Structure 1
């Protein structure tokens, strides 16, 4: 059972941890090449929430089954809802914003004027940072809930 707790805690840290790097990756005053590198790192870091988060959920369910906790406990439901919200924000909402940002950086047939590109880039970076703030806040609440859960 102790190993299962270790697996659960480590996978939660690994799964949610990358959301705390977004604030560094997507600074507003980056040159295009720096932003391209940040986007590449985002793509790599995006695997961690998918894999680590999935392991955290499976190990968490196993912990509930193997312990005296019940699935009807409110803190378990709140934890699951927070996890789903983090996934929706970090993967479902942030991914499309990053795709739009990549399209702007890569240009293409319909590349807007330089002023519009800069404005769109700034707006997308602002939106990405708001989403990262939201995911980070939810992650902190989730970690606090896991630490102070009712015994």
Structure 2
């Protein structure tokens, strides 16, 4: 397999896989109306597929690149840092942000609440938690891309 083609696949899948993390907090931005939040949560549900597929391909292609490439030791700081950053993004997004977002979405998108014009306090807290976790995941995503861009060539 051509290593340049594999690098292309890896970079594109990383962008597609991690990319939605960078705007998930935008979908949950403050000062939205409840109707805007409903739309944002619907869009967010559609975007969940990208990290699942793109992220999986990025990990597999990254491991294949390490195996096929001339990167020396796996313990190079950029390789280890990239792997740790990716795992942290997954833990933050899947373990913390998404559960809060799903609970929020459960209330916001519940047909019995469609006439509501304001969120109750516990839903506002879920909204803030999800948004903050997505900000954290975005921050780690920037670190991930820094590791990948500044790696030795």
Taking structure 2 as the reference length, what is the TM-score of the superposition?
0.86
Aligned partners of 1:46 and 1:91 also within 8 Å: no
Corresponding position of 1:105: 108
Which ranges of 4 or more aligned residues in structure 1 deviate by more than 4 Å?
106-109
1:83 aligns with one of 73, 81, 86: 86
1:107 deviates by 5.2
Q: Note the C-alpha offset of 1:137.
A: 0.5
Matched, 1:66 2:64: no
CA distance in 1, matches of 2:106, 2:57: 32
Moved more, 90-99 or 131-140: 90-99
- Structure 2 distance, partners of 1:14, 1:124, is 26
For the structure 1 residues 41 and 108, does the alpha-carbon distance in structure 2 shift closer, same or farther, using more than 3 Å as the test? Answer: closer
The structure-2 alpha-carbon separation of the partners of 1:117 and 1:11, relative to structure 1 and needing over 3 Å to count, comes to same
- What is the distance in 1 between the residues matched to 2:148 and 2:9? 14
Question: What residue number does 1:2 align with?
Answer: 4
Aligned with residue 44 of structure 1, among 43, 46, 65: 46
**Root-mean-square deviation over aligned CA pairs:** 2.2
Gaps of 5+ in 1: none
| CA deviation after TM superposition for structure 1 residue 13, in Å | 0.5
Count of aligned pairs? 148
Cα separation, 2, equivalents of 1:45 and 1:71: 32
